[in-house]
Amino acid sequence: MTRTVRPRVFVTRQLPGEALGRLGERVDLRVWEEELPPSRDRLMEEAAGAEGLVTLLTDRVDARLLALAPGLRAVSNVAVGYDNIDVAACTRQRVAVGNTPGALTETSADFAFALILGLARRVAEADAYVRAGKWRTWSPTLLLGTDVYGATLGIVGAGGIGAAVARRARGFGMRILYTSREPKPALEAEVGARWVDKATLLAQADILSLHVPLTPQTRHWVGREELREMKPGALLVNTSRGGVVDPEALVEALRGGRLGGAALDVTEPEPLPVDSPLMTLPNVLLAPHIASASHATRGRMASMAVDNLLAALEGRRPPHCVNPEVFA
């Protein structure tokens, strides 16, 4: 009887590019082919027999799943964010966790800027207006928006994506304020951004753009109080994680006219329920979590995730590992 020595790997969705082909040459590969993610039970069942998992942000990897997967050695997330994974529980079980930083920085910053421009200049509303046959004449008061040029952009989180948004903002002649754990002198010198505290950022930003990971500290970073402190009529853009904004407080601020509008690539929950009040508000621009969705970037993310997984399965520290102490 022949016995396979290839490690068993479960991938929770088809991925673009060549990465899965490469993975399939080295491991005993099972790929979830459906459009929707595997159910929780199915993921636990697959994890139970696997040494490696390639996961997406829709797949929860927690202590309960890990308890059923004693052979698991690596979880490789196809995302820079990893709030779907209980990293501490993985570390306790000596399961390496990989992610894909850098691969999506510029693509995500492009999309954040697309939302900034789209919201400020009402692009989706304009498109819907023309398609609905409502365009009867040029009008001096039709679909008036907010100037991006010369506006103050408030960036929350000056990591890779926040900094890439700041570079784009400089090209648009914006005044750039940011808040982060500590000042970033190199970014300040490069784009003329100024580090300020949270209260100043909220009070002065015409457009607030969020670029922080979701952690217990950033959950509902924008809540009722923050929305009250924001400049009246300001715009909010979220391409980070839905949980960074309190959804009820957001709807209240939009309905009350306190907030001028919101552009949301991410929501709490995801997908956004069809009966969410956000669906009916005209000053809300919505996207289905696609900031990193370019052909090249998604291919790069898949490839990095496979590199991370293969390294961990070979007992090496993955090139991008969020719990390197597993290899100490």
Q: Clarify whether 289 is annotated catalytic.
A: yes
Residue among 13, 122, 211, 241 flagged as catalytic: 241
Looking at this protein, which amino acid is placed at residue 34?
E
User: Could you tell me which stretch among 22-30, 35-43, 78-86, 203-211 binds ligand DGY (CB under 6 A)?
Assistant: 78-86
Q: What is the DSSP string of 257-287?
A: TSS-EEEESS-SSSSPPTT-GGGG-TTEEE-
Report how many residues bind ligand DGY under the rule CB under 6 A.
6
User: Could you tell me which stretch among 44-52, 75-83, 134-142, 204-212 binds ligand DGY (CB under 6 A)?
Assistant: 75-83
Checking 82-87 for CB contacts under 8 A at 24+ apart, the result is 82/322, 83/57, 83/213, 83/214, 83/215, 83/241, 83/243, 84/55, 84/56, 84/57, 84/58, 84/59, 84/60, 85/55, 85/60, 85/61, 86/61, 86/62, 87/322, 87/323
Q: Clarify whether 211 is annotated catalytic.
A: no
Give the residue with the Cβ less far from ligand DGY, 231 or 298.
298
Residue among 13, 289, 298, 320 flagged as catalytic: 289
CB of 306 to ligand DGY, least distance (A): 15
Q: Clarify whether 34 is annotated catalytic.
A: no
Residue among 224, 229, 270, 317 flagged as catalytic: 270
Residues numbered 98 to 157 that lie near ligand DGY (CB under 6 A) are 104
Q: Is 292 in the site for ligand DGY (CB under 6 A)?
A: yes
Residues numbered 167 to 226 that lie near ligand DGY (CB under 6 A) are none
Q: Which DSSP symbol is given to 233?
A: T
User: Could you tell me which stretch among 77-85, 127-135, 142-150, 230-238 binds ligand DGY (CB under 6 A)?
Assistant: 77-85
Quote the CA–CA distance of 152 and 163 in Å, as a whole number. 15
- Exactly one of 29, 79, 119, 254 binds ligand DGY (CB under 6 A); that residue is 79
Quote the CA–CA distance of 100 and 148 in Å, as a whole number. 31
Give the residue with the Cβ less far from ligand DGY, 184 or 300.
300
CB of 57 to ligand DGY, least distance (A): 6
* H or E element that contains 108: helix 105-120
User: Could you tell me which stretch among 76-84, 115-123, 170-178, 254-262 binds ligand DGY (CB under 6 A)?
Assistant: 76-84
Q: How many residues in total does the chain contain? A: 328
33, 53 Cβ separation under 8 angstroms: no
CB of 242 to ligand DGY, least distance (A): 10
Q: Which DSSP symbol is given to 82?
A: -
Quote the CA–CA distance of 68 and 195 in Å, as a whole number. 46
**Cα angle for residues 112, 58, 223 (degrees, 5° grid):** 55
Residues contributing to the site for ligand DGY (CB under 6 A): 57, 79-81, 104, 292
Q: So which residues are the catalytic ones?
A: 241, 270, 289
